[in-house]
Structure formats: structure tokens, C-alpha cells
Structure 1
Amino acid sequence: MRGQAPGVAISQFSPAFIEAFNSAAVLFQASRFEDAAAAFRRLIAEHSGIAALHGNLGLCLRAAGRPDEAMDALKQALRLKPDYPDALNALGGILLDRRHIEHALIAFKELVKLKPDYPGALLTLGNLFMFIGGGERAHATYRLAVAVEPDVAVNHNNLGAVSLSLGHPQDAALNYRRALAIDVGKPEYRKNLGTCLLMAGDYPNGTVAYEGRLEQPVWRKRDMPGVLWQAQPLAGKTLLVHFEQGLGDSFQYIRYACMLKRMGARVLYECQPALKRVLSTAPDLDGLFAFGEPLPPYDYHISLMSLMHRLGTTPDSVPGGVPYLRAEPELEAGWAERLERLEGGKRPALRVGINWHGNETGKSIPLECFEAMGKLPGVRLYSLQKVSGLDHLERLRDRVAVTELGADFDAGPDAFLDTAAVMANLDLIITCDTSVCHLAGAMGRPTWVVLKWFADWRWMRDRLDSPWYPTMRLFRQATSNDWAEVMDRVTAEVAANAGGQATPNPAEGTLR
């Protein structure tokens, strides 16, 4: 706690005041925040015009979990002394905690203007700019933070993050390495460097650095019994591979079983329970187990996404030709009949399945961007959306012509069974970056993925195809957050294919 009254030497006050002030500060340092607040209130009752008393009261109340009262005290401190950095910082922090972003921006802008070298102020301001999508302003602010506090690793890390988001992977990698030079080996910075290198296509170095994710405190780390596989010989051995992250990752990386089998392994996979049935068509597995089920004995274990590193694959050596996942034949046939009934026996030139909403920030396509596509002659849109995003359909049902597949569509405990069966009967899947695109790609279906401008590392930076899925095309935003422009391009491509009656050959996989 910063104890002196701004602009007034503490020695000008009485010994009793000094003793009371110091006692309140000691209570704060001892985490006795309520007692400290009471002590500062007593001092304010006698000296209400001293900004530092109100400021320190605000700090005590914030620490005590009383933000409303803390804000009142901090605002009073700033009324008495507008150029009061500690009060601005604390007030901005409360506003940030409450997600009052615009007001927090004002507070931290004032703080940086008043005292640019206030610890952490430029970093927080840069974070706020990033939050509201102001990448260029965030970049300039983080650069100032690095200049003011060059020995603070997080300043370099965040400058790396914004550099990557602006399309400068080399600058990003340089800044991540500077962060690691200061905070040697920090898992978060290693993982960030890994994603940067992977996005640039540098898999030999990127996969090594990406292993840092497994040591992050926020990671869902599995403490598996037994021996970690670190490229020991696998001939005659049983290897347990276990899922790590999202559902789409299981679809994407289950392909590595074929490489493990060629090395002589007996391959077991422990998957998310909802995926056990849909993954049962994956080849080269000797055992498939849902999380929570008893596991048989095994010699080694490894996390699914660590196989890239241990097997040394690159974009040029991605294993597993498509399709390596398939729909269940009975469900596929059932949905073929059901789609024909929905169409009244008049099959359109193009059956297009759409999935517009994902759970991660910035990945979702506004449903209204499909309005023009739904009006194209010869095109019928089918909704592959489940759970999240259905409220958009309810709101726009009168504008966007999308055929819904009924309440029983993938309604059971096993995920994606109906999705796979429907996709097997479609001509094209158009989707945002979510698990649907990975299942479609793994099935070898013609798939167009519409990506935000700063997409996930696995799509790399500039490619319009994917080394993971040969039947996939990538459509990228030309500028950040501009879904309308990229969807206009997608719609034009759909129109061209529908006009040419270009139903694709499943063996070829892609539309033009």
C-alpha cells in the first residue's frame, strides 16, 4: 500500500495521525482488509480532504471483496486529486473485473497518459485493445510496454500474440523467444511459440515447442499410470493413446493409428464418451474405450496431440488418406430416404449442409450471411447445427431458407451419428471452424471451411487447401471480422456449381 498523502509530507501530520496511518497500512499488509478499511474510515472522519486516505480505503475495500464501496472511495480520491495513479489503476481494475470495458479503457488511458511507466499499465491497456479487436492499437501499446519494462516477459509474449494475429509470424516468434529468454521454459510461452511455428508450417520445431501446453496449469492434464511413450520401439507393445482437447481433435488425429500400427504396436484409444460410436469405424485400432471405462494393460501411453511431435510428421507427410471415418450404413440409408421425402422426390442440383456457429470467439458465421445462398436456384440448405446457434435460426427462419432435420437429429447420447449419415448424402458441407469440419474432412466429403482472418494454427496462414483433408477448401476473411465479403465469395462459388449441375464424384471429393 502506498501510504503517503499525495502532495503532503507525512511528517507534517501529528504523531497520532502517523501512528494510525501506519497501523492501517500494517493491517492491510497482514490481509486484514476489513480492519484496515475501518482504520482508514476513522482517519477520513478527521481528515476528509486527503486523497490518499480515500485511495487506500478503496484498495482495502476492493481486497475485501466490496467493489461498489471501493469504487465510491476511489472516485472520491480522484475528485480530490485527479492525477492519482494508484486510484486510477485500482478503479480501472474494478471496471475490468466487471467487464465494463469502455470505462476501463478510459481509466487506463488516463493512467498511461499520467504515468507511462506505472507497472503493468501499458500491458493492461494493450490487453483491453486486444479485447475490443483493436489489433494495431494493441501492437503499438505493447511495443511501448516492452520499451518501458523490457525485462517483463509477459510484455514480449503479448506483443508476440498481437503480431501473430496481425499476420506477422516471424515477429511473433522473435517476441515469444524473448519472453522465454526472460522466463526460461515457461510452458505458456513455449506453447505460444509452438502454435506460431506450426502456423508458419515449421512442424519440426513447432511440435517440440507445442509440447509446452501439457505443463500449463490451465491444461486438462491427465496423470496416466505407466510409462510415457517417447519414441521407444513399439514392435509387440501396446500403446494407449488418450484424447486431450476437443471433439474435432479426435476426428483429426485418430489417423495416426495407422503409423503406430506400421511400427508394430497394438493401438488402444481412449476417447470422449460421446464419440465412441462414431469413432468405431476408424481403422487400425485394436481397442476403443470411452473415458471412464476400465482400460486393459498397456506398455506405454501418450496424449493424442503429442503424436505429431513423437512421429515427426510435417504438412508433407500427414498420415491417413480419406475417408478414414464413415457413416453407419443403416443410418446413411435411412437418411437418404428421409431427405428424399423432405424434398418431395425432387432432388436439388446441390444439397448443401451448413454449420454456422462454433463455441470459440470469432469463429461463428452470422446466419444471415447464408440468406442469398438459400435463394439460389437448384440449391437446398440443410442445417447441421446442434445446440448452440439454434436461436439464430429461430430469429431468422423467415429470411434464411434452411431445412431443419428434426428434433431427433443426433438427439441420443452418441454424438455425430446422424450428422455423419446426413453428410454422406450431401453434395457439399459449408461450415465454420468447428468439429463438423473435421468429421466431414475425415469422411472425405466435399467441405468448404470459412475461416476468420486470424484462424487456428492448423489451417496455417495463406493456404486455401488443407494437408490434413484433401477434399477440403478453405475460404478466409480478407479483413478481420468481415464475414459478408467472404460469404459473398462462397455464395458465388455455390451458384457456379449449382448452375453447372456440378454434383461431385465422391471419389474426387471436391467441387470446383
Structure 2
Amino acid sequence: MASFRAAAAMRPEHPVVWFLLGVTLRTMGRAEQALAALHAALRLRPDHPDTLFHFASVQLELLWPDRALPALRRLVALRPSHEGAAFALGGALMALDAPEEAERAFLLTALLQPDGAAVNNNLGAAIMAQRRPGVALGHFRRAIRIDPSRPEHRKNLGIAQLMRGELEEGFREYEWRMGQAVWQWNRSYPGKPVWDGGPLAGRTILVHYEQGLGDSVQFVRYLPLLKAMGARTVFECQPVLKRLLASAPGIDALVARGETLPDFDCCLSLMSLPYRCSTGADRIPRDIPYLRTDPERAVFWRELVYGQARPGDLRVGIQWRADGGNRSIPLECFEALSQVPGARLFSLQQATGLDELERLGERFGIIDLPGRRAGAEGFLDTAALAECMDLVVACDSVVGHVAGALGKPVFLALPWLGDWRWMNHPDRTPWYPAHRLFRMARRNDWHGVMARVAEAVAEKVHRARS
């Protein structure tokens, strides 16, 4: 290192010295110093392929795909066959939500490396991000043939199948997610086997939550199937859901994460139940509603809601902010809905998104009723409020799942690439028969989605008054 610095001081006009210094700094994990050295090398020799590649690679390591893009584009234009260049370009473009361009970059990589498992997997991901899961299937299968040991490829195949409505095959392949490090945060219970689908009569099974709050609400419907097999069921849920899920059928013992678990014979992740229960499109548990509101909270909120709604109004509960950024809808996009005559809007938003409500709530006529509590009690309030509504309009979040589990009509607004659970039907889902899906027609066009929602709400008001 010292010799490179000394050489750079003695020969500052020599690009090779700056390049070697930058590469050395990169290997030492000193990314920003490496960038400075590589930038100096590029000023002296702007079209050197290896310098461009290392310069872009450091920026990608720093999670700056937008800054890496010019160097990668330049490199691919200068030398398309440079090892790793087109692949890195595709990755940067995917990070910037440009899957069409990423597909072209990965196609170039696949031409150069036809037997590359990673490039076929990433090519499939770029195609799937364009809502073309049927085409993506072939690339995932090719990646699996090349390297059958990688769980990511099998999991991605499963997601593509689920998006196409091929539930039995998709849930089988989706099980491979458990081999990925990102999923291994789940649970380990030494000496306790994972349930393999065998007989459960007389046995106690622990089902533990996996992933988000909405997943717990959606898939808790499977617990009665285990009861029907003769099992005693224990469900470990997120603490904030414990009060709400106490009304769900098929649970003998409900435990919040962190609480002491009762003894059990075997265990399973909640998201593995659809596979173990052989779920197909015609075998989704549809005993809805499967959640109930707290009677006291229902009376409390009904009095408040009915006191605010005018006779003949359509009571519409709205929710716009989700945990996932691409699923959240800017509250500004609800303006058309707020102008529908006869629709009375009530906020169902919890915690996040309240800054938007403070800014736009009065202008849009959104009623934000006081008295809602935090944490687990807050979900009881949200459920009771949703129960008071004629309709819920929501982004893809736990609130939409809660309303669906209560059997309420829901207009669900989805981003350009909806989650696999919403499959590919234009506007319906077998998971919640009372849901109507509104899919984004153009990328990032929430205004267009919500304009269609407003039209549908206006039609609903008209029918109610006819």
C-alpha cells in the first residue's frame, strides 16, 4: 500500500499506478478511498475496461447503482465481452427498477455465458419483473438444470408458478426458500422435527409465523385443517397480532413471539402450510370470515362511525401506507376518491402515514376518529373500524388482509408488479372472494389506479342509491 501511494505521489500522471492503488484499497474494504484512486485513473485513461469495471463495482458495493450506471454503460459499449460487465449492468438496472433494460443486459451475458446459472436466474427475474412469469419459467428451469443445488433458483421458479396460479407446483418449489440464508432467521428447535405432512392425530404441532403481518392474517386460515387431522395446535404469532388472532378458529394455544412455548411434538413455518396441505386453486380454505371483532370495541366504534356518516353515505375506510415502499400509495392520489359524491372516507391508517393525513386530511374530507390505541390493542380497533365500513380501499398491506378475513368488500390497489399471492387474474383472487383487485396499468402510475378506484366507488354509490 505504501509503495503504491509513494508511486502515485511520484508519478501522478501514470494511470496504472492509480488503478493498482484503487484495486488494492478495494480489496482492503476502503471503498471511498478506492473510488478516489480509480477516478484519478479514469481521468488519465477514461476508456480502460478494467478501471471502468472496478470503479462501477465499488459503487455497486456502496449501493449506488445510479452512480455506477454511466461507467457500466460505457464499458459494455466499449467491450461487450468484458467478463462481468453486462451482468453487473443488469444488476444495476434491476436495482433502479428498469427490468426491460436489465433483460437486454442479461441476454447479452447469456450469449457470452450460456451455461451460467446466475445469469439465467437473473434473466428470469428481469422478465418476471415485467409481469411475464410464463416466459421467466424457462430461464429459472435452465438455471436449475445448470446448478440444481441453489435454493434461490428453485424458489424463484416457485414464485413464477404461483404468479401464474399454479399453486400446488408453486408452493412445492417455494419450500426451497428455507435453504436461503435470508430465511434462516426463522426458528430452530433442537430435537423437534419439522412436520413432513404425516399423521397428526394425538400430536401437538407448533406453527410459527414467517414474514409479515399480512402473511400471518392470510395463512392462519390453515390452522383448522391441522385440527381436522387430530392435532393440538400452537400458533406463535407477532406480538401486535395476538389480540386480533385470538378470534381465529383452529388454534388451541396462541403464543406471542418471546413468550414461553408449551411443549410440542413437531413444528412448521406458517408459510409452509399451503404446501403441506396440498393447496391447489380449488383447495384454498375459504371459510370466511375467519376473524371476529371484539364486541366491546365494535360497539364503541360503530357509535362513532355512524355519528359521522350522513344518511345514505357509503362508508369507505381507506389505508394508503404499507411497510414496503413500492406498495404504498401517496395520499395525494386519493383526491379523485375524495370527490365522489356520497362516499364518506374514514382513515384506517395505523402509525405510519399520519403526516400525510395531517397535511391532506381536511382538504380531502377524511375522518380520523380519535381513541385508537397502539400495538396489539390498535389492531383490535382497526378490525372493529373496518367492520363498520361498507367498503375498504387499501394498498397491499395487513389492513387489506384483516378486512378480507372479516369478509368485508375490499378494493385493493396493487403496484405494477403485484406480490405472487395476487396471481394473474385481472381483478379477482381466490384468497378473498370479496376482494376486487386494481392493478397498475403503467409503472409508477398510482394516479391512474386510484382514478379507476374512484370510478368503481362512484358506481357502488349509485347502485346503493338506486
Give the TM-score taking structure 1 as reference length: 0.87
SS at match of 1:117: coil
Question: Which amino acid is 1:435 matched to?
Answer: V
Question: Which amino acid is 2:434 matched to?
Answer: T
Instruction: Report deviation, 1:165.
Output: 1.6
Pairing of 1:94-243 with structure 2 (within 5 A): 94-219=58-183, 220-225=185-190, 226-243=192-209
Distance 2:443 2:102 in 1: 15
Match of 2:17 in 1: 53
Q: 1:484 aligns with which of 435, 442, 447?
A: 447
Count matched residues.
Answer: 464
Gaps of 5+ in 1: 1-35, 504-512
Instruction: Report deviation, 1:371.
Output: 0.9
Distance 1:298 1:196 in 2: 35
Distance 1:268 1:147 in 2: 51
Distance 2:189 2:326 in 1: 34
Change (3 A) 1:151 1:278: same
SS at match of 1:381: strand
Distance 1:295 1:144 in 2: 53
Pairing 1:397–2:335 present: no
Per-residue CA deviations over 1:461-483 (Å, capped at 9, x if unaligned) read 13411111111111111222222
Is the 8 Å Cα contact of residues 348 and 380 (structure 1) preserved in structure 2?
A: no
Instruction: Report deviation, 1:172.
Output: 0.8
Match of 1:447 in 2: 410
Question: Which amino acid is 1:175 matched to?
Answer: H
Match of 2:458 in 1: 495
Question: Which amino acid is 1:430 matched to?
Answer: V
Match of 2:419 in 1: 456
SS at match of 1:296: coil
Per-residue CA deviations over 1:174-216 (Å, capped at 9, x if unaligned) read 1111112222221111111111111111122211110011111
Q: 1:322 aligns with which of 277, 281, 288?
A: 288
SS at match of 2:327: coil
SS at match of 1:116: coil
SS at match of 1:43: helix
Match of 2:374 in 1: 411
Structure 1 or 2, whichever has the larger Rg, is 1
Instruction: Report deviation, 1:103.
Output: 2.8
Structure 1 range deviating more: 423-432 or 261-270: 261-270
SS at match of 2:230: coil
Question: Which amino acid is 2:180 matched to?
Answer: Q
Is the 8 Å Cα contact of residues 65 and 92 (structure 2) preserved in structure 1?
A: yes
Match of 1:92 in 2: 56
Structure 1 range deviating more: 132-141 or 154-163: 132-141
Distance 2:175 2:333 in 1: 38
Change (3 A) 1:40 1:348: farther
Per-residue CA deviations over 1:3-36 (Å, capped at 9, x if unaligned) read xxxxxxxxxxxxxxxxxxxxxxxxxxxxxxxxx2
Structure 1 range deviating more: 132-141 or 270-279: 132-141
Instruction: Report deviation, 1:415.
Output: 4.4
Is the 8 Å Cα contact of residues 258 and 320 (structure 1) preserved in structure 2?
A: no
Q: 1:301 aligns with which of 267, 273, 295?
A: 267
Is the 8 Å Cα contact of residues 348 and 379 (structure 1) preserved in structure 2?
A: no
Distance 2:379 2:415 in 1: 24
Distance 2:321 2:131 in 1: 24
Distance 1:444 1:479 in 2: 30
Is the 8 Å Cα contact of residues 196 and 276 (structure 2) preserved in structure 1?
A: yes
Gaps of 5+ in 2: none
Give the TM-score taking structure 2 as reference length: 0.95
Question: Which amino acid is 1:224 matched to?
Answer: Y
Is the 8 Å Cα contact of residues 361 and 367 (structure 2) preserved in structure 1?
A: no
Q: 2:331 aligns with which of 367, 374, 397?
A: 367
Pairing of 1:57-76 with structure 2 (within 5 A): 57-76=21-40
Pairing 1:253–2:219 present: yes
Per-residue CA deviations over 1:126-155 (Å, capped at 9, x if unaligned) read 122223332221111111111122232221
Change (3 A) 1:292 1:477: same
Question: Which amino acid is 1:271 matched to?
Answer: C
SS at match of 2:254: strand
Change (3 A) 1:256 1:120: same
Change (3 A) 1:213 1:201: same
Structure 1 range deviating more: 426-435 or 257-266: 257-266
Question: Which amino acid is 1:294 matched to?
Answer: T
Question: Which amino acid is 1:67 matched to?
Answer: A
Instruction: Report deviation, 1:166.
Output: 1.4
Is the 8 Å Cα contact of residues 157 and 179 (structure 1) preserved in structure 2?
A: yes
Distance 1:72 1:481 in 2: 35
SS at match of 1:353: strand
Distance 2:360 2:41 in 1: 50
Q: Output the aligned Cα RMSD.
A: 1.8
Is the 8 Å Cα contact of residues 258 and 319 (structure 1) preserved in structure 2?
A: no
Question: Which amino acid is 1:274 matched to?
Answer: V
Match of 1:425 in 2: 388
Structure 1 range deviating more: 432-441 or 295-304: 295-304
Per-residue CA deviations over 1:422-460 (Å, capped at 9, x if unaligned) read 011111001011111111111101111111121000100
